[in-house]
Chain A
Amino acid sequence: MKSTLKKAGYSRVQKQMHDVFLQFTSKVVFFIIIMFAFNLFFAGHYTPGGGFVGGLLAASALILLLIAYDRKTLFKMIPIDYRLIITTGLFLSLAVPTLSFLFGTPFLTHQHTYLQLPVLGEIPLHSALLFDLGVFLTVAGTTLLMIALIEGEES
């Protein structure tokens, strides 16, 4: 990030690169955003949210870290291959609709049931969640892959 900005003609930005405030805050905010992202994702079926927004927010949490640090540090913190995330996401969003064959229903027919758990009470289980997880992962993975790649291009 530092040298990109420098090359673009922003020499003054350099001073802020090891911005302790930004780095410290981002570590805290990261968890808040990512929790919010997961909350949005799981609540999506009943309240505003869903896989797409959740994925974007999760990606933006990581991008915040990317801006505060750099790609290498980010990879040290969270060592995931974004391509693998995309693959998993695509696999889920293709496999879950196909699995409805096992129930003898047409493609993309979702199944749902309710589960009684000791502490949490009644919890709805929905195969749409898995499909949405595919969306979540693909969106997050693709966004991260693009931005991290373009960011890392200079090195």
Chain B
Amino acid sequence: MTLIHLAILLPVAAAIAIGVLYRYYRKINIGWLALPVPLLIAIYLATLIPAVSGGEVIHETMPFMPRIGMNFDIYIDGLSLLFAILISGIGALVTLYSIGYLSQKEKLGSFYIYLLIFMTAMLGVVLIDNVLMLYLFWELTSISSFLLIAFWHKNDRSLYGAQKSMLITMFGGFLMLGGFIILYLITGTFSIRGMIEALPLIQENQLAPLAIVLILFGAFTKSAQFPFHIWLPDAMEAPTPVSAYLHSATMVKAGIYLVARFTPIFAFNSLWIWLILIVGLFTMTWAAFNSIKQNDLKAMLALSTVSQLGLIMSLLGLGALSVSTGADEQLFTAAIVAAVFHVFNHATFKGALFMVTGIVDHETGTRNMKKLGGLLTIMPISVTMTLITALSMAGIPPFNGFLSKELFLEAMISIGNAEFGGLSSMSFIVPALAIIGSIFTFIYSIRLIYDVFFGKRTYHLPKAPREGSAIMLVSPAILTFLVLVFGFFPNLLSGTIIDPAVMGIMDSSTSPETSISHWHGFDSPALWATVSIVIIGTLLFISRDRWMFIYNYHKERFTLDFAYDQLLLYSRFGSQKLTDNLMNGSIRSYLLYIFGTFVIFGCLSVISAGMSIDFNNLSPVSIGEIIMVLITIVTLAVILITKSRMVSIIMLGAVGFAVSMLFVFFRAPDLALAQLAIETIITALFLVCFFYLPRHSRHEERIRFKLTNFLVSLGVGVLTIFIGLAAYSERLFESISQFHIENVYDLTAGGNMVNVILVDFRGFDTLFETLVFGIAGIGIFTLMKLNLNRRGNKDEEHTEESRV
């Protein structure tokens, strides 16, 4: 347990504290109490920068479940640190912003709990070396994202968006787990470091391409790459601080992180390189193209995020070439530098843009660009910030977006000059896509500025527009300031953040000694690319009314969203049909299915495997046991014959007591005690359940003899007896009891082995059983309460009707 482990777990601990506090104390906005958490973590992580940029890595092990290789191992290099700082830094700014954005009437407690859980999850994803733990935290980000998108759960669109994001990201995450397991099968370790060391094994193995595809599924779904990008625009129903934080600055970059982290492992494989490069470039262009037509400000920003993520992804693909081929190392190192630099820049400018959009939404009541316009004089501060950040996104000098964009263009253009097999004939496509995508980016950036703040002033807004409050303006102002600072002095970052991160991605120990400059001379192709992007973009923007009609050809039913909706709809129909056919509401037929299956498979396995029964080891049967068995048989017979429910319940209890007496005879007092307690409770439970049973006794209908039922029950009885006998006479494995008996005192300081097994040796089982028990109780409570409410509503309706 080190300070870093604590830093990861701190937000969750704070979430519990805030949840409790929020219940009893609501005088101040609870966000002020959440704010110090990311701030502290950010400060702590910042103190690690000098060590890490000096080429050090921090590797802390902590056993969690060592037997299955799931350890809480921390590995911090430049790459992890970059992401961790982004997560905690932007987290602090977003928390501050949300204090102004969300009113006190909202359920702030839940909001900050979800947000803090997300922080832990995200920090875990980027700082942990063990892939199983990484998967755990990965899914936790999906869950917290789901909860945050559905924060306004009364709104149908929020629920739709939340469900969509959850289904898609969890689908990918689950496949990714498959990839991790394949890697484990190949290398025998769950540690990423260990996998890098076992690189030759992975390179030889036939299964490696499968692992690549599966892991990329995880990365592409999380980072909203084509064709999985459809969840991100719908996730914009979340409150704007969430969009700024999860869906632009951090969570969607988890996929990028994953790809960067696995670059040293998979870069040898051309499948990995080309998948990332092509998917990334295509996503970038396609999303930027679609972004232009959006009228919803946040939808536009969402697609723009998708596009920028594609850009970073393609750069990583290009960079992977450098690790694999070693050809023209300079260029590909530049690609990775650009990727890292752009991750940072994108977080600053896109975070600020989202926050400003939130201010516009908050103060005007709409984020439809058709309704907005001419806010220039009303919101001067927001305008300034939008101008700076949107121009940075468009890649206009001297902002930081320009620098990374130019590095990107340079890398993409010079790919044509490098020598790769099979690439030469297609080499023009890569830079062409890059430039086209950049032109679209330029157009929507300009549209964002122009349509909201310039143009004709509109007056029919839901609220009278005014400048946002100071609390809301601080966070985007800080980010905008960073855009300016890193635009003018990019080399502040290069030694401290970028170089260590690049070393982390490339798994090399030599610093690339990056130096970023604004001016590369007239012969730089990137300069001319930028110039042409600006000129073509401006021309297209001016003439946009002439060519925007092409979007009309993109019909609703050809979109991926439509396909997703249809898939969901038909799977719902299908499962409905299936359940309707199987679940007819009669417990008797369910039991028939269950026991019938048991009998069939039991018989099959007996036939195929055979069974040996050995009566030699059996102990003699005593008189007491015979009496108990007779009592059981008699009471069972009574249950079958009796007409009274009361009698059958009491008889059922008697069966239980007889069985527990048997346990006593067999010297198992723990079992007997538990059985007795259970029988008591169950009898009481049956008594209170009387109310729900149909009024007429089941015995009024004559019980007919049914052959199937008879066969199944007979089969169950016979099979169980035989299995019991066979299990006793044929021991395939050595019994574990001896281990328990020997260690019960030394290891656990206990005297009662049964209980020690429960709480210690097999504590996990108990833990999960407890959880199941609790969930069952709460589930029953919810079902009953919902039922009550519905009945209550109906009653109310009836009374209203009767009054009329």
The interface of chain A, by Cβ under 8 A from chain B, is: 1, 4-5, 7-10, 40, 44-53, 56-57, 59-60, 63, 66-67, 82-83, 86, 89-90, 93-94, 97, 101-102, 104-108, 110, 112, 124, 126, 128, 131-132, 134-135, 138-139, 141-143, 145-147, 149-151, 153-154
The chain B residue sitting closest to A132, CB to CB, is B759
Contact B770 A135 (CB under 8 A): yes
How close is B633's CB to chain A, nearest CB, in angstroms? 27
Please, which residues of chain B bring their CB within 8 A of the CB of A86?
774, 777-778
Contact B754 A48 (CB under 8 A): yes
How close is A58's CB to chain B, nearest CB, in angstroms? 10
B792 close to A (CB within 8 Å)? no
Contact A134 B770 (CB under 8 A): yes
Contact B755 A44 (CB under 8 A): yes
Interface residues of B in 399-437 (CB under 8 A from A): none
Please, which residues of chain B bring their CB within 8 A of the CB of A52?
674, 758
> In whole angstroms, how far apart are the Cα atoms of A27 and B684 in the complex?
17
- Given A4-B688, A153-B784, is A51 in contact with B673 using a C-beta cutoff of 8 Å? no
Interface residues of B in 166-212 (CB under 8 A from A): none
Given A139-B773, A141-B774, output 4 extra A-B contacts at Cβ < 8 Å. Answer: A8-B693, A86-B777, A104-B62, A110-B759
Contact A149 B64 (CB under 8 A): no
Please, which residues of chain A bring their CB within 8 A of the CB of B692?
150
Partner-binding segment picked from B242-250, B380-388, B438-446, B760-768: B760-768
- Given A4-B691, A154-B691, is A45 in contact with B756 using a C-beta cutoff of 8 Å? yes
Contact A108 B777 (CB under 8 A): no
Partner-binding segment picked from B86-94, B601-609, B624-632, B743-751: B743-751
- Given A48-B754, A53-B670, A146-B777, is A128 in contact with B760 using a C-beta cutoff of 8 Å? yes
The chain B residue sitting closest to A98, CB to CB, is B9
Please, which residues of chain B bring their CB within 8 A of the CB of A10?
646
Contact A51 B759 (CB under 8 A): yes
B665 close to A (CB within 8 Å)? no
B5 close to A (CB within 8 Å)? yes
Contact A56 B752 (CB under 8 A): no
The chain A residue sitting closest to B780, CB to CB, is A146
- Given A50-B754, A104-B1, A145-B777, is A1 in contact with B770 using a C-beta cutoff of 8 Å? no
How close is A136's CB to chain B, nearest CB, in angstroms? 10
The chain B residue sitting closest to A82, CB to CB, is B777
Contact A135 B684 (CB under 8 A): no
B680 close to A (CB within 8 Å)? yes
Please, which residues of chain A bring their CB within 8 A of the CB of B64?
106-107
Contact A53 B752 (CB under 8 A): no
B562 close to A (CB within 8 Å)? no
- Given A5-B690, A60-B677, A134-B770, is A50 in contact with B759 using a C-beta cutoff of 8 Å? yes
> In whole angstroms, how far apart are the Cα atoms of A53 and B752 in the complex?
14
Contact A153 B691 (CB under 8 A): yes
Contact B781 A149 (CB under 8 A): yes
How close is B196's CB to chain A, nearest CB, in angstroms? 25
How close is A50's CB to chain B, nearest CB, in angstroms? 4
Contact B767 A108 (CB under 8 A): yes
Kindly name the residue among B645, B677, B748, B771 whose own CB sees the greatest number of chain A CB atoms within 10 A.
Answer: B677
Kindly name the residue among B695, B697, B750, B773 whose own CB sees the greatest number of chain A CB atoms within 10 A.
Answer: B773
How close is A59's CB to chain B, nearest CB, in angstroms? 7
The chain A residue sitting closest to B784, CB to CB, is A149
The chain B residue sitting closest to A110, CB to CB, is B760
Contact B764 A45 (CB under 8 A): no
Task: Name 16 interchain pairs, CB-CB below 8 A, sorted by A.
Answer: A4-B687, A7-B695, A9-B695, A47-B752, A49-B673, A53-B674, A56-B681, A66-B684, A107-B65, A138-B777, A142-B774, A143-B681, A143-B777, A146-B781, A147-B681, A149-B784
Interface residues of B in 667-695 (CB under 8 A from A): 669-670, 673-674, 677-678, 680-681, 684-685, 687-693, 695
Contact B763 A153 (CB under 8 A): no
How close is B730's CB to chain A, nearest CB, in angstroms? 30
Please, which residues of chain B bring their CB within 8 A of the CB of A50?
670, 752, 754-755, 758-759
> In whole angstroms, how far apart are the Cα atoms of A151 and B749 in the complex?
42
B66 close to A (CB within 8 Å)? yes
Contact A45 B751 (CB under 8 A): yes
The interface of chain B, by Cβ under 8 A from chain A, is: 1, 5, 62-66, 72, 645-646, 669-670, 673-674, 677-678, 680-681, 684-685, 687-693, 695, 697, 748-752, 754-756, 758-760, 763-764, 766-767, 770-771, 773-774, 776-778, 780-781, 784, 788
Please, which residues of chain A bring their CB within 8 A of the CB of B690?
4-5, 7-8
Kindly name the residue among B669, B673, B690, B755 whose own CB sees the greatest number of chain A CB atoms within 10 A.
Answer: B755
> In whole angstroms, how far apart are the Cα atoms of A9 and B644 in the complex?
10
Contact B763 A108 (CB under 8 A): yes
Contact B773 A7 (CB under 8 A): no
Contact B764 A53 (CB under 8 A): no
Please, which residues of chain A bring their CB within 8 A of the CB of B784?
149-150, 153
- Given A5-B690, A8-B691, A67-B684, is A47 in contact with B760 using a C-beta cutoff of 8 Å? no
Contact A46 B781 (CB under 8 A): no
> In whole angstroms, how far apart are the Cα atoms of A9 and B690 in the complex?
10
How close is A140's CB to chain B, nearest CB, in angstroms? 10
How close is B161's CB to chain A, nearest CB, in angstroms? 30
> In whole angstroms, how far apart are the Cα atoms of A40 and B693 in the complex?
35
Contact A93 B770 (CB under 8 A): yes
Contact B1 A102 (CB under 8 A): yes
Contact A106 B63 (CB under 8 A): yes
> In whole angstroms, how far apart are the Cα atoms of A134 and B763 in the complex?
12
The chain B residue sitting closest to A44, CB to CB, is B755
Residue from B670, B759, B770, B776 in contact with A89 in the complex, judged by beta carbons closer than 8 Å: B770
Shortest Cβ-Cβ A-B pairs, 8 listed: A142-B777, A46-B751, A56-B677, A8-B690, A48-B669, A50-B755, A106-B63, A151-B688
Contact A112 B688 (CB under 8 A): no
How close is A110's CB to chain B, nearest CB, in angstroms? 6
Contact B670 A49 (CB under 8 A): yes
Please, which residues of chain A bring their CB within 8 A of the CB of B774?
86, 89-90, 138, 141-142
- Given A50-B759, A59-B681, is A141 in contact with B691 using a C-beta cutoff of 8 Å? no
How close is B298's CB to chain A, nearest CB, in angstroms? 37
Contact A60 B766 (CB under 8 A): no
Residue from A45, A48, A51, A102 in contact with B750 in the complex, judged by beta carbons closer than 8 Å: A45
How close is A128's CB to chain B, nearest CB, in angstroms? 4
How close is B65's CB to chain A, nearest CB, in angstroms? 6
Please, which residues of chain B bring their CB within 8 A of the CB of A110?
748, 759-760, 763
> In whole angstroms, how far apart are the Cα atoms of A50 and B670 in the complex?
8
> In whole angstroms, how far apart are the Cα atoms of A25 and B275 in the complex?
77
> In whole angstroms, how far apart are the Cα atoms of A124 and B65 in the complex?
27
> In whole angstroms, how far apart are the Cα atoms of A89 and B769 in the complex?
12
Kindly name the residue among A52, A56, A66, A151 whose own CB sees the greatest number of chain B CB atoms within 10 A.
Answer: A52
Kindly name the residue among A51, A89, A94, A106 whose own CB sees the greatest number of chain B CB atoms within 10 A.
Answer: A106
Residue from A9, A60, A94, A154 in contact with B767 in the complex, judged by beta carbons closer than 8 Å: A94
Please, which residues of chain B bring their CB within 8 A of the CB of A131?
759, 763, 766-767
Contact B65 A106 (CB under 8 A): yes
- Given A1-B688, A104-B1, A112-B748, is A53 in contact with B776 using a C-beta cutoff of 8 Å? no
Please, which residues of chain B bring their CB within 8 A of the CB of A132?
755, 758-759
Contact A49 B767 (CB under 8 A): no
Contact A153 B788 (CB under 8 A): yes
Please, which residues of chain B bring their CB within 8 A of the CB of A126?
749-750
Contact A49 B749 (CB under 8 A): no
Please, which residues of chain B bring their CB within 8 A of the CB of A45?
749-752, 755-756, 759
> In whole angstroms, how far apart are the Cα atoms of A132 and B192 in the complex?
36
Please, which residues of chain A bring their CB within 8 A of the CB of B763?
97, 108, 110, 128, 131
Contact A150 B689 (CB under 8 A): yes
The chain A residue sitting closest to B756, CB to CB, is A45
